[in-house]
Amino acid sequence: MRNVWTIASREYRHYFLSPVAYIVAFLILMLAGTLFVFQIQRTQSYIYQGYYPPAPTAASSVINPTAFMMLFAAPALTMRLLSEEHRSGTIELLLTAPVKDWELVVGKWLGAFLYMLTVFVITLIIPIVLNRLVEPGIDVKATLAGYIGLILLTAAFLAIGTAFSAMFNNQFASFFATLIMIVILWWMAAWPANAIQNAASFFNYLHAYAHFDSMVKGSIALKDIVYFLSLTVIGLFVGTTAIEIRRWQ
Amino acid sequence: MMAKKRSRKTTIKNYAYIALIVSGVALLASALFGLFKLVLFLDLYTLQNDQWVNTALYISLGMILVGLAVYALIVPEKVRDFFAGRQGRYGSNAAINLIAFFTIIVIANMWAYAAPVEDLDFTEDLQHTLAPETLDTLRLLREPVHAIAFYTQESTQIRDLLENMENSSNGKFDFEFVNPDTNPARALQYEVTSDRTIVLVMGDRRESVTYPTEQAIVNALMRLMNPGERIVYFLTGHGEHSLEATDEAGLSRLQSTLIGKNYVLRTLNLLAENRIPADAQALVIAGPTQTLSAEEVDLIAQYLEQGGSLILLSESPLSTGNTDQADPLAAYLAANWNIGLNNDIVIDPSLDQVLIAVSASYGDHPIVQNIQTTNTYYPVARSLTIGSETADVQTTTLVSTVNRAWGETNLAEIDQGYLQFNAGADTPGPLVLGAVSENPTTGGRVIVFGDSDFATDSLFDVYGNGNMIVNAIDYAAGQEEYITLTRSEPINRRLSDDVKQGTILILGAAFICLLPLLIVVGGVAAWLMRRAQG
């Protein structure tokens, strides 16, 4: 476990020196901030015209845009994790060090996950400010559920990225493989459900967005949690197996 | 002896490959049967009896194992060599680990999907929690109810609701989603004609819900549990819209929807029958082009006094050409039920086509409860006048137009396209398009609309039109909501009045400029530090 922590904290610190991490944080905060201000402005202009629409929520102004950005942020943050080690040859050093394969993979993933948590903590300022602007305040519990969904989703997407990073030497191959995988899960997994009636519930279950969306709407189901944790564990396991296979090849 | 045995052993080993061939052929057969099974599963091909495919698949899978086992028995050393090799050992380890791991993941997800664990409602106003009345109704279910949700695109909201209901029903309630586009036979079987319909099946009885909400589903369940024939008569003989006709002026869409809700629909010719049958829960007069006779109106009056219900979809005499005929029904309704029928045509400037009246506001009544946010459209309508309230009749406006609309009384103006409100002659807006009167003592109910076209096939599916007429018939037949859910209203969250343009400018400066800028500064600082460190 200590090895996991050592690798994770090294990776975490590394992100603060990496331009990709700053670009990710910048884009997330820029998008969420812009949408937040735009929604407040639009609602205010409706009030000015005599309409009284519901106030923007934490989900619409920060959680949903951040989740959307994760589609691109997860491949960008993880593409380097193990691919870089393969390319530069430092993986040999890591593999001969007294570190188990799973510790290496989990440590790398945890570093990226902690980095994203840090960015999410910064985004919390938006719901806090929004709470002051809305009467009688935002739905704090629903916001919490939304953030839980966002955290689970991030864990899963980063694990998928870590797995592809362990498979490919090339960072861009890792980036695009992760992006395609996430886009399929996020948008396309439920498409066959309409065509194949017999397996509709199977394909609907695969659809990551549906699981995330129900959490954002304030309903936390066991199946949603198990779904995202499963994706995370699958990612880490496949990543570990990929490293193992490289070892004996 | 030894030599003989050795030679026999050698002979068997020479033929070990046959076991592998058997396995290989079985593997090929399994793949083919598996593929065929997939084709069947995907509904690309249908078989009368697909049992034999399963049997063949099992036999071929069994043959693979038998072949491998025989091979391993005959030449154990070769198998050992295969697994003991470095690649083989690692490869098989990895394969077994992956298979075991994925099996566990699949089982965990299947368990989580089916586990009867209630979802946690993380909203302050408990929007995902079933109302106590829903829980009571589910607890009261004696027979299992199967809900079939016909949705071309599955709704997560409805799935959550149905899942919640299933979890709280003690196994008495379950559901499935069916896409009516890809499975038209099922839709036809349950007489489903519109998307987003839920059919509840209990034994051989069923109820369809065309506007699925928790309230609507609970009431459909209540109706399923309390069966009884609901007979509605449609008056004929005065040029009314035909129930069966499938042309634009027909009422076939209304008919199929009502049959789906377990109604029995009959036609009634008052001149021939000379009475309104005692089993009539409601009488519908859908767009008569001729006026009713005084005798017919007397029969209707008697029926209403005994607690009957009438739905009149009236047409303006200006459009039917009956301006010079007295209308005994209109006189009776104005005198006894506070609803006057004006001899005008509604001109509504809301749309470019000013002859189509549009609902601008709805009253507070069960009939219009679920269409408050949906428009309804009434082409070439007449307006109604609500009389002063009398002690024994309560009248409620159901739907009215915008203030700018007026009731044009001069047909020539309409024909010439020269439309103008003439104070004194025309009826000033806002105009009442539909109203309901009830007599609490007798239980009699009268629902009047100043238009009949809105309920015909050409307009039935337009926005809330179909719901308006179906709700009206439900109410007239005493099938209004059995229970009203005592759910807490969602908390109304509004932007504070303190938020002014200045606040928005500050927010913009902070969130669009300052915060992202801080990140950029951090990034540049990190880059400089890295460069300094080399």
Report the percentage of chain A scoring pLDDT > 90.
64
Whether residue B19 is contained in a domain is answered as yes
B236 and B367 housed in the same domain? yes
Confidence of residue B1 (pLDDT cuts 50, 70, 90): very low
Instruction: Give the CATH number for residue B146.
Output: 3.40.30.10
A22 neighbourhood in chain B, CB within 8 Å: 519-520, 522-523, 526
B452 and B369 housed in the same domain? yes
Whether residue B399 is contained in a domain is answered as yes
B297 pLDDT higher than 90 = yes
Instruction: Inspect the interface and report whether the beta carbons of A47 and B495 lie closer than 8 Å.
Output: yes
Residue A148, pLDDT score: 97
Cα-atom radius of gyration of chain B, to the nearest Å? Answer: 36
Q: What is the pLDDT of residues A132-171, one digit of tens each?
A: 999 888 999 999 999 999 999 999 999 999 999 999 888 9
Instruction: Inspect the interface and report whether the beta carbons of A218 and B123 lie closer than 8 Å.
Output: yes
Residue A78, pLDDT score: 94
Can you give the residue range of the structural domain that contains B51?
A: 8-114
Pick the last residue of a domain from B147, B175, B208: B208
Instruction: Inspect the interface and report whether the beta carbons of B496 and A22 lie closer than 8 Å.
Output: no
Compute the nearest-CA separation of B503 from chain A (Å): 10
What mean pLDDT is reported for chain A?
Answer: 90
Pick the last residue of a domain from B450, B476, B502: B476
B187 neighbourhood in chain A, CB within 8 Å: none
Compute the nearest-CA separation of B316 from chain A (Å): 36
B49 pLDDT higher than 80 = no
Work out the average pLDDT over B487-495. Answer: 76
What chain B residue is nearest to A51 in terms of C-alpha separation?
B494
Confidence of residue B73 (pLDDT cuts 50, 70, 90): confident
Picking from B468, B474, B445, the residue whose alpha carbon sits closest to that of residue B455 is B468
B434 and B349 housed in the same domain? yes
B400 pLDDT higher than 50 = yes
Whether residue B383 is contained in a domain is answered as yes
B66 and B136 housed in the same domain? no
Work out the average pLDDT over A117-135. Answer: 94
Q: How many CB pairs under 8 A join A and B?
A: 189
Compute the nearest-CA separation of A220 from chain B (Å): 5
What chain B residue is nearest to A26 in terms of C-alpha separation?
B516
What chain B residue is nearest to A24 in terms of C-alpha separation?
B519
Residue A120, pLDDT score: 96
* Interface probe with A: pick from B119, B122, B128, B497, most Cβ of A within 10 Å: B122
A110 pLDDT higher than 90 = yes
In this structure, the strands spanning B145-150 and B197-202 are antiparallel
Instruction: Inspect the interface and report whether the beta carbons of B519 and A199 lie closer than 8 Å.
Output: no
B188 and B335 housed in the same domain? no
Instruction: Inspect the interface and report whether the beta carbons of A219 and B119 lie closer than 8 Å.
Output: yes
Render B297-360 in DSSP notation, one character per residue: HHHHHHHHHTT-EEEEE---HHHHT-TTS--HHHHHHHHHHSEEEPSSEEE-TTSSSTTEEE--
Confidence of residue A94 (pLDDT cuts 50, 70, 90): confident
B372 and B450 housed in the same domain? yes
Work out the average pLDDT over B386-411. Answer: 88
Q: What is the pLDDT of residues B332-369, one digit of tens each?
A: 999 999 999 999 999 998 888 899 999 988 998 888 88
The residues pairing with B233 across neighbouring beta strands, listed in sequence order, are: B266, B283
B107 and B166 housed in the same domain? no
A220 neighbourhood in chain B, CB within 8 Å: 119-120, 122
Put simply, whether A45 touches B (Cβ < 8 Å) is no
B89 and B166 housed in the same domain? no
Render B205-232 in DSSP notation, one character per residue: EEEEESS--HHHHHHHHHHHHS---EEE
At B378 the three-state DSSP class reads strand
What chain B residue is nearest to A249 in terms of C-alpha separation?
B87
Residue B481, pLDDT score: 57
A40 neighbourhood in chain B, CB within 8 Å: 495, 499, 504, 507
Residue A188, pLDDT score: 84
Residue with more model confidence, A116 or B324: A116
Put simply, whether A125 touches B (Cβ < 8 Å) is yes
Instruction: Give the CATH number for residue B424.
Output: 3.40.50.880
A95 pLDDT higher than 80 = no
A37 neighbourhood in chain B, CB within 8 Å: 504, 507-508, 511-512
Work out the average pLDDT over B228-255. Answer: 89
Q: How many domains does chain B have?
A: 3
Residue with more model confidence, A186 or B483: A186
Instruction: Inspect the interface and report whether the beta carbons of B523 and A19 lie closer than 8 Å.
Output: yes
Nearest to A55 among B105, B128, B495 (CB): B495
- Neighbouring residues of B359: CB distance < 8 A, sequence distance ≥ 6: B375, B376, B377, B378, B399, B400, B401, B433, B464
Residue B479, pLDDT score: 67
A187 pLDDT higher than 50 = yes
Residue B50, pLDDT score: 74
Residue A209, pLDDT score: 93
Work out the average pLDDT over B426-453. Answer: 93
B391 and B462 housed in the same domain? yes
Residue with more model confidence, B197 or B49: B197
| Domain map (residue ranges) of chain A | 2-26+69-248
Residue A182, pLDDT score: 95
Q: Among the listed ranges B99-108, B172-181, B411-420, which one has the minimum average pLDDT value?
A: B411-420
Work out the average pLDDT over A211-228. Answer: 92
Pick the last residue of a domain from B476, B495, B513: B476
Residue B497, pLDDT score: 83
Work out the average pLDDT over B317-324. Answer: 84
At B149 the three-state DSSP class reads strand
Residue B6, pLDDT score: 52
CB B248 within 8 A of CB B287: no
B318 and B179 housed in the same domain? no
What chain A residue is nearest to B530 in terms of C-alpha separation?
A17
Residue A81, pLDDT score: 86
Confidence of residue B2 (pLDDT cuts 50, 70, 90): very low
B269 pLDDT higher than 60 = yes
Whether residue B214 is contained in a domain is answered as no
What tokens were used for A133?
């602007």
Residue B484, pLDDT score: 63
Put simply, whether A220 touches B (Cβ < 8 Å) is yes
Instruction: Inspect the interface and report whether the beta carbons of A134 and B179 lie closer than 8 Å.
Output: no
Work out the average pLDDT over B260-269. Answer: 87
Whether this prediction's pTM lies above 0.90 is answered by no
B108 and B137 housed in the same domain? no
B32 and B100 housed in the same domain? yes
Distance CA A111, CA A62 (A): 23
